């Protein structure tokens, strides 16, 4: 059941994502994770919206397995984004339904892309989180992908390039 999964994504008590806080360094994320996260070299990771993946961790909730990727500002190396990639795309549709149930009406819902990409966004002010769900359909040899991206609504301490 995915209800627990959606509820586990962002805990109001933490105000960011699970064990992280916006602005943490890569090493602080690893320590906060209880060493389940590992550091990765900038060239091993990828970048999203100009932010560098410098740590990653396995993540599982309610039987759904994700890869958590921690992205940092390139100048200040402050945590500025968490991407949860669903490893089994058969969970994507149910996951979107659970997110809608958890966060209500999105601030943006767009499936008008000519590529069939579904994009749904919420602003959760109480948690200082902007949440983006993206579902990219399979095409040719490329499999279906879906993920959730958490970003702060307001600026990140230590990030000079956001």
For the stretch 69-82, pLDDT in tens is 999 998 889 999 99
> What pairs with residue 53 in β-bridges?
71
| Between residues 12 and 31, the one the model is more confident about | 31
Once rounded to an integer, what is the mean pLDDT over residues 108-113?
A: 81
Query: What is the spatial distance between Cα 4 and Cα 6, in angstroms, rounded to a whole number?
Result: 6
- 36 close to 58: Cβ distance less than 8 angstroms: yes
Residue 63 pLDDT class (50, 70, 90 cuts): low
Give, in order, the Cα–Cα distances in Å from 133 to each of 38, 76, 148, 149: 24, 26, 4, 7
> Which pLDDT score, from 0 to 100, does residue 47 have?
86
- The DSSP call for residue 33 is T
Q: Which residues contact 125 (CB under 8 A, 6 or more apart)?
A: 153
Other CB atoms within 10 Å distance of the CB of residue 142: 9
Parallel/antiparallel/unpaired status of strands 108-110 and 79-86: unpaired
- 150 close to 81: Cβ distance less than 8 angstroms: yes
Residue 32: pLDDT over 80: yes
Residue 98: pLDDT over 60: yes
Once rounded to an integer, what is the mean pLDDT over residues 97-102?
A: 88
- 98 close to 4: Cβ distance less than 8 angstroms: no
């Amino acid at each position: 059941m995915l209800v627990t999964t959606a509820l586990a994504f962002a805990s109001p008590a933490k105000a960011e994502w699970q064990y992280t806080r916006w602005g943490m360094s890569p090493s602080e994320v690893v320590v906060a994770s209880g060493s389940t996260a590992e550091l990765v070299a900038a060239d091993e990771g990828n970048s999203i919206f100009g932010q560098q993946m410098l740590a990653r961790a396995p993540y599982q909730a309610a039987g759904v397995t994700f890869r958590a990727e921690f992205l940092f500002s390139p100048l200040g190396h402050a945590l500025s984004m968490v991407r949860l990639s669903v490893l089994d795309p058969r969970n994507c549709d149910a996951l979107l339904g659970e997110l809608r149930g958890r966060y209500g009406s999105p601030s943006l819902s767009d499936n008008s892309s000519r590529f069939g990409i579904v994009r749904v966004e919420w602003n959760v002010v109480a948690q200082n989180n902007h949440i983006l769900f993206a579902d990219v359909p399979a095409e040719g040899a490329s499999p279906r992908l879906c993920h959730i991206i958490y970003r702060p609504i307001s600026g990140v301490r230590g990030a000079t390039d956001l």
